[in-house]
């Protein structure tokens, strides 16, 4: 078993949304030093932020086991996004794929490249619902509440 556990959120609202999520998970599984251990069901959700005329998202969460350090995992996720056609044009705009590192072990990181835990995850039902499916008892290392508690308190 690889030594680190990371949780990621995935989203897509352009193209073949479900296939984009599957392709991202397959690419991560194929990457060296990453094993995809659990994947939530898919959720169709309203876009949050960004332009008003966006299509609905498909969202999911996954648990990864990895030997990669957090910044290296971020680089792999960004590479997968680029490979699958992600274009960063409009903040919170439409995208073929979005991969966010939500949690990495119980680490707290806040630098120019990476913030873990993801800074908005506790306010986003589209993140918490799928994450709760695979890790309801996981405790947020800053807020000290389980994912289930965070979801119960999320509007």
Domain 4-152: homologous superfamily in CATH: 7,8-Dihydro-6-hydroxymethylpterin-pyrophosphokinase HPPK (3.30.70.560)
Q: Which helix (H) or strand (E) holds 82?
A: helix 70-83
Q: Measured between alpha carbons, how far is 42 from 8 in angstroms, rounded to an integer? A: 13
Cβ neighbours for 53, distance < 8 A, ≥ 6 positions apart: none
List 86, 105, 110, 111, catalytic entry: 86
pLDDT for the residue numbered 48: 82
pLDDT in tens, 98-135: 999 999 999 999 999 999 999 999 999 999 999 999 99
List 91, 100, 124, 125, catalytic entry: 100
Burial 83-93 (b: 16+ CB within 10 A, else e): ebebeeeeeee
3-state secondary structure of 7: strand
pLDDT in tens, 15-58: 999 999 999 999 999 999 999 999 999 999 988 876 777 889 99
Q: So where are the chain's domains? A: 4-152
* Residue 95 falls in the annotated catalytic set: yes
- Has this prediction a pTM greater than 0.85? yes
List 33, 72, 91, 95, catalytic entry: 95
* Residue 72 falls in the annotated catalytic set: no
* Residue 133 falls in the annotated catalytic set: no
Half-sphere exposure of 96 (CA within 13 A, CB side): 17
3-state secondary structure of 59: strand
8-125-110-27 Cα dihedral, nearest 10 degrees = 20
List 53, 88, 91, 98, catalytic entry: 98
* Residue 63 falls in the annotated catalytic set: no
């Amino acid at each position: 078993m690889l030594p680190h556990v990371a949780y990621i959120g995935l989203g897509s609202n352009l193209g073949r949304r479900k296939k984009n999520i599957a392709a991202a998970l397959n690419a991560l599984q194929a990457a060296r030093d990453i094993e995809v251990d659990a994947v939530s069901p898919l959720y169709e959700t309203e876009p949050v932020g960004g332009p008003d005329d966006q299509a609905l998202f498909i969202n999911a969460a996954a648990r990864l086991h990895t030997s990669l350090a957090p910044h290296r995992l971020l680089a792999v996720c960004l590479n997968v996004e680029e490979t699958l056609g992600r274009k960063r044009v409009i903040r919170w705009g439409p995208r073929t794929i979005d991969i966010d590192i939500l949690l990495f072990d119980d680490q707290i990181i806040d630098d120019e490249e990476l913030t873990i835990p993801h800074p908005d995850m506790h306010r986003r039902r589209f993140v918490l619902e799928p994450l709760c499916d695979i890790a309801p008892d996981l405790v947020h290392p800053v807020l000290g509440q389980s994912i289930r508690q965070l979801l119960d308190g999320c509007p």
